[in-house]
Amino acid sequence: MKALLTALAASAIFIATASADWVIESKIESPQLNSATTTKVKGDKLRVDIPSGPVGAMSSIVDTKTGDAIQLVHSQKMAVKTGSEQLKAAMEAAKQKAGIKGASSAELKPTGQSEKVGDYDCDVYTWSDGSTTSKLWVAKNHPQAAALKAFEKQMKSGILGGMQVGPDTSTLPGPTIKTETTTQGMTVTNTITSIKEQDVDAKEFEVPADYQTMQLPAAPPSGK
C-alpha cells in the first residue's frame, strides 16, 4: 500500500481526467520507491505502472470519480481491490503519520531561481508549513502547458485531490513538471520525463483474465 500511495500521490500532482488519452513517463525517487513510472489516462481512469516496486512489477488502476482502486501484483498474478472509503482512510492515515494536519496555511513563494528540467526552462517556487517543505519547478513555456494545467485543476476535484498537501498551485504561471517534498526528514522527488497524447486501450484498466482477485479487508473501527 505504501508504494501505491507514493505512486498515486506523485501522479496526483500532474494527472487528471481529460477528453484526450495521455501517457506520461515520470521518475519517482523516495525511501519507499525509486523507479521510473508510466501513467496512462483515459476518461476518469488512470493506470500507474511501476516496473520495480517492493514486490516486483506492479500496476495501480484508479477510478478517479468513484475512488475505487485495483493493485496488480504481476509476479503473483494477483489483483487486490480497494474501495473508495479504504483508499480515503489510507490517505488520511498516511497524512497523520507524516504529521500533516488539516488544510495548509503555507504560501507559494518564488525563489527567483531558474533551472532547466529536461528541455524546459523552469522557475522555482517553494512553500513550507513547518512540517512539510516543498520545491516546485514550473515550466510556463511548456508546449503542453494548457493541457497540463487543466490536468492539475481537474485532479484536485477527484479522489486523489485528498492526497495533495500544501497551497493551491492553480495560480502558478505554468505546469509543475518536478517536485521535491520533504516531510519528517523523508524526501520524495517526482519528475515528468515525457508526456504524449495517444490512444490508450480500455483493456489497460481491466484485471487480466488469469489473475486471482481479492478484496482488501476493511479496517476495523477504531478502538476495536
> What pLDDT does 64 receive?
82
Q: Residue 93: which pLDDT band, with cuts at 50, 70 and 90?
A: low
User: Which is higher by pLDDT, 44 or 180?
Assistant: 180
- Tell me the pLDDT band of 149, cut-offs 50, 70 and 90: confident
2-215 CATH pick, 3.40.50.10540, 3.20.20.70, 2.50.20.10, 3.40.50.300: 2.50.20.10
Question: 13 is written with which cell numbers?
Answer: 500532482
pTM of the complete model: 0.76
Tens-place pLDDT, residues 35-91: 899 999 898 888 999 998 778 899 999 888 888 899 999 999 999 998 877 666 666
- DSSP-derived letter for residue 95 is H
Q: Where are the domains of the chain?
A: 2-215
CB 179 within 8 A of CB 136: yes
Pairing of strands 34-43, 45-53: antiparallel
DSSP state of 218: P
Cα–Cα distances in Å, from 59 out to 68, 80, 92, 98, 105?
Answer: 14, 11, 22, 24, 34
Average pLDDT, rounded, for the chain? 81
Query: CA-to-CA distance for 196 and 189, rounded, in angstroms?
Result: 21
